[in-house]
Structure 1
Amino acid sequence: MSRAESALPGRVVAAHGRHYRVVLDASPAPRHCYTKGKKAGPAVGDRVLVLPEGLNEGVIIEVLPRRNLFYRSDAQRSKLFAANIDQLLLVLAAEPEFSDDLLGRALVAAGSADIAAHIVLNKADLPGTARARARLALPESLGIAVTTLSALDTEQTRARLGPVLQGRCTLLLGQSGMGKSTLLNALVPEAAAPTQAHSEALGTGRHTTTHTRLYPLPMGGDLIDSPGFQAFGLQHLSAHDIEQGFPEFAPAIAQCRFYNCTHQHEPGCGVLAALARGEITAQRHALYLRILAENEAARRY
């Protein structure tokens, strides 16, 4: 019998570096697994084939075809967040102040992979919440739902997010310090994720999650928790992928004179015309240009 024939199917439920926990279809007990070689490893949520070793270990020999893969990338490395997800739950807060640029990039990554996004504005008891909520008018105008709550209120959190999460595989994502771990604990008490206050001196959060892990939800479905981030490169996206991350461009792109229009300076560009009419915001178009320029510069070097 070949190695492939001896391998058993399973699902990756945790990842830390090149070490993984996999739950095999045939057994609920997770196995501690690793990969061989230098090829890209699996992500949490991946379906894989595992060659068992001993009582509770194994070698991942193949990653099975994915529905999608959500990740960020820059010149140094790629960070795989999760695979085969149904939606992205982006956690923001008034304090520390969230970045519009990082929020926009995460939404572009989701849009390019055809993954639905939902925003949670956490820490609703803070005085800056109204101003933070107003800043979310732009993504909300793009059809992205926004839920405001305090994750410290467990009952409220479960009541408002339960219908959003039920029966779906959801990636929990956020900048450091947004209260993501508190939200996770409200939804999955057994997670017992460590929490700590953000640094008031720096106005930034500290990473409390160090690895990615999948948790079954009591109401059905799964929640994948991932480390907080302070950067979100998108160098893996092609120019077409970047366009896909801006769904509001689609009607205007159909009006472009040239099929290979970059929507930067070309005559007869439908996107630039829509921008001039106020149908596309200057903020979103500027983000599009930044991502495009970064990726072009990265390819040159």
Structure 2
Amino acid sequence: MRALRSDIQLGTVVAAYGKRYGVELKGIQGSEISCVTRGKKTDLACGDEVEIRLTDSNEGVVEKNLPRTSLLYRSNAYRSKFLAANVTQIVIVLATSPSFYEELLNRCLIAAEAANIQALIVLNKCDITDNATAIARLALYSGLGYKVQLLSATTDVSPLKPLLRGHTSVLVGQSGMGKSTIVNALLPESAIAIRTQEISAVLDSGKHTTTAAHLYHIDEGTRLIDSPGLQEFGLNHLNIEALEHAFIEFRPYLGKCRFNNCKHLKEPDCAISNAVIEGKISSQRQTYYQDLLGEIGR
């Protein structure tokens, strides 16, 4: 390992505020140096390991971004938005109320699979309303092998703790699903100034108050990144091969179609379409795939 210059220090990006980043110095948990990047470079994410040069006691410049083990991000036709780096798990937070967008859930799962990140689905607010409908909607995903954890974060967050242990997890989800409540419950001693969401009953949606991604330490080997609420999750950075592979139930059938360039739309002897007819693949998931293929192909 090369030696660092005396004015260079290692750190972790623990907060992303647009063009400014909070960096925690290595070995000094709780420290946060306010840093900028060189020039117009803004391709850092919460969780990135970096080298910084201090310019004052609490100010610095990011000189280098170290290699990542993973990167979770979303994109549309014009730009990409980094969510978190070096995470081992994405925790997709849903709620019984307000109702969640299943399309957004699918997009988060696909992004996780494409980035080789483990996915956990949390159904929050199970104490405030009938959760049978929401649980039934999630049966498809538990059937695919995804862990689905029921939770009532306002009363007991303990079922979630063993599922986070040893991971660097990022919380994602729509506004109003209770992500901030979960973080507050996991870290009550930290006095984190995270306000819980106000829910708009008229719009059946939440107004998020988390405006910047932030990394927190749960314990010695467990870290949690809270991210702003999502209303959309573009996947324009994926090509057809990455997209089809991200549907985990497709994998046993890939390469078995009549045509090598099969897009699994209306081609004859398509192994995916045949599996749908045989009930081995959900027609709902095939529709999500076809819609996304049309989106990224534009």
**TM-score bucket of the superposed structures, by smaller chain:** over 0.9
* Residue ranges of structure 1 left out of the alignment (5+ in a row): none
> Are the aligned partners of 2:94 and 2:100 in contact in 1 as well (CA < 8 Å)?
yes
Q: Could you tell me which amino acid in structure 1 is paired with residue 194 of structure 2?
A: A
CA distance in 1, matches of 2:19, 2:41: 11
Q: Find the counterpart in structure 2 of residue 23 from structure 1.
A: 24
* Residue ranges of structure 2 left out of the alignment (5+ in a row): none
**C-alpha spacing 1:261/1:37, structure 2 compared with 1 (3 Å):** farther
TM-score under structure 2 length normalisation: 0.93
| 1:40 Cα deviation after fit | 4.2
Q: Find the counterpart in structure 2 of residue 112 from structure 1.
A: 114
Q: Aligned residues, how many? A: 291
Q: Find the counterpart in structure 1 of residue 143 from structure 2.
A: 141
Q: Note the alpha carbon deviations across 1:161-180, whole angstroms, 9 max, x for none.
A: 11111111000111001111
Of the structure 1 ranges 131-140 and 25-34, higher mean CA displacement relative to structure 2 is found in: 25-34
Q: Find the counterpart in structure 2 of residue 175 from structure 1.
A: 174
CA distance in 1, matches of 2:33, 2:49: 14
Q: Find the counterpart in structure 2 of residue 45 from structure 1.
A: 47
CA distance in 2, matches of 1:73, 1:198: 27
Q: Find the counterpart in structure 1 of residue 250 from structure 2.
A: 249
CA distance in 1, matches of 2:200, 2:220: 34
| 1:289 Cα deviation after fit | 0.9
Q: Find the counterpart in structure 1 of residue 264 from structure 2.
A: 263
CA distance in 2, matches of 1:122, 1:114: 25
Of the structure 1 ranges 99-108 and 265-274, higher mean CA displacement relative to structure 2 is found in: 265-274
CA distance in 2, matches of 1:104, 1:147: 17
TM-score under structure 1 length normalisation: 0.92
3-state DSSP of counterpart to 1:198: strand
CA distance in 1, matches of 2:113, 2:243: 9
Q: Find the counterpart in structure 1 of residue 124 from structure 2.
A: 122
* Aligned Cα root-mean-square deviation (Å): 1.6
3-state DSSP of counterpart to 2:22: strand
Of the structure 1 ranges 277-286 and 254-263, higher mean CA displacement relative to structure 2 is found in: 254-263
Q: Find the counterpart in structure 2 of residue 210 from structure 1.
A: 211
| 1:26 Cα deviation after fit | 5.6
3-state DSSP of counterpart to 1:186: helix
> Are the aligned partners of 1:188 and 1:218 in contact in 2 as well (CA < 8 Å)?
no
3-state DSSP of counterpart to 1:88: strand
| 1:77 Cα deviation after fit | 2.8
In terms of fraction of residues, the more helix-rich structure is 1
| 1:27 Cα deviation after fit | 4.3
3-state DSSP of counterpart to 1:125: coil
Would you say 1:58 and 2:60 are equivalent positions? Answer: yes
Q: Find the counterpart in structure 2 of residue 280 from structure 1.
A: 281
> How is 1:228-247 mapped onto 2 (pairs within 5 angstroms)?
228-247=229-248
Q: Could you tell me which amino acid in structure 2 is paired with residue 116 of structure 1?
A: Q
CA distance in 1, matches of 2:184, 2:41: 34
CA distance in 2, matches of 1:219, 1:46: 18
CA distance in 2, matches of 1:196, 1:203: 13
3-state DSSP of counterpart to 1:227: coil
| 1:219 Cα deviation after fit | 7.0
| 1:196 Cα deviation after fit | 2.8
Would you say 1:157 and 2:179 are equivalent positions? Answer: no
> Are the aligned partners of 2:153 and 2:185 in contact in 1 as well (CA < 8 Å)?
yes
Of the structure 1 ranges 218-227 and 117-126, higher mean CA displacement relative to structure 2 is found in: 218-227
Of the structure 1 ranges 119-128 and 203-212, higher mean CA displacement relative to structure 2 is found in: 119-128
3-state DSSP of counterpart to 2:242: helix
Q: Note the alpha carbon deviations across 1:192-240, whole angstroms, 9 max, x for none.
A: 4101331001111111101000000047400100000111111111111
> Are the aligned partners of 2:15 and 2:22 in contact in 1 as well (CA < 8 Å)?
yes
Identity rate of aligned residues, in percent? Answer: 46
CA distance in 2, matches of 1:251, 1:105: 21
3-state DSSP of counterpart to 1:110: helix
Q: Could you tell me which amino acid in structure 1 is paired with residue 278 of structure 2?
A: R
> Are the aligned partners of 1:95 and 1:128 in contact in 2 as well (CA < 8 Å)?
no
**C-alpha spacing 1:87/1:26, structure 2 compared with 1 (3 Å):** closer
CA distance in 1, matches of 2:198, 2:26: 39
> Are the aligned partners of 1:172 and 1:224 in contact in 2 as well (CA < 8 Å)?
yes
